[in-house]
Amino acid sequence: MSDKPEEIRDMLTAEQVLALIPVSRTTLFRLERDGVFPKGETITPHRKLWFKDEVIAWQRDLRDPTSALAEAVRARNSKCPAAPRKLKAV
């Protein structure tokens, strides 16, 4: 056993993450799947939690235009441009 005490890290539910990151639940899981958001820890088959410090670090990296994360998000967004809207005749 180590002399160093174990570090206890706060964890967030999906609802708590979504309160901090204003995206839809589906977008949250897509960002995670695409590797541009921290991976959550599945603790039961229907429950996933994220480490709060990782979410905060993600926010910090997102604001830094030179970070690998900001570049990955820009690249991801450029591959999925918004479809042009069709205007309805009045």
What pLDDT is stored for residue 80 in this prediction?
65
Give the torsion through C-alpha atoms of 63, 27, 25, 56, to 10 deg. -20
- Range list of β-strands (E), the chain: 11-12, 41-44, 47-51
pLDDT at site 75 = 78
pLDDT per residue as tens digits for the range 68-89: 887 877 777 777 655 566 666 6
pLDDT tens for residues 4-63?
678 899 999 999 999 999 999 999 999 999 999 999 999 999 999 999 999 999 999 988
* Three-class secondary structure of residue 54 per DSSP: helix
Count Cβ atoms below 10 Å from residue 16 Cβ, excluding itself.
Answer: 15
Predicted pLDDT at 68: 83
What pLDDT is recorded for position 77? 75
For the full predicted model, state whether its pTM sits above 0.75.
no
Please tell me the distance from the alpha carbon of residue 88 to that of residue 86, in angstroms, as a whole number: 6
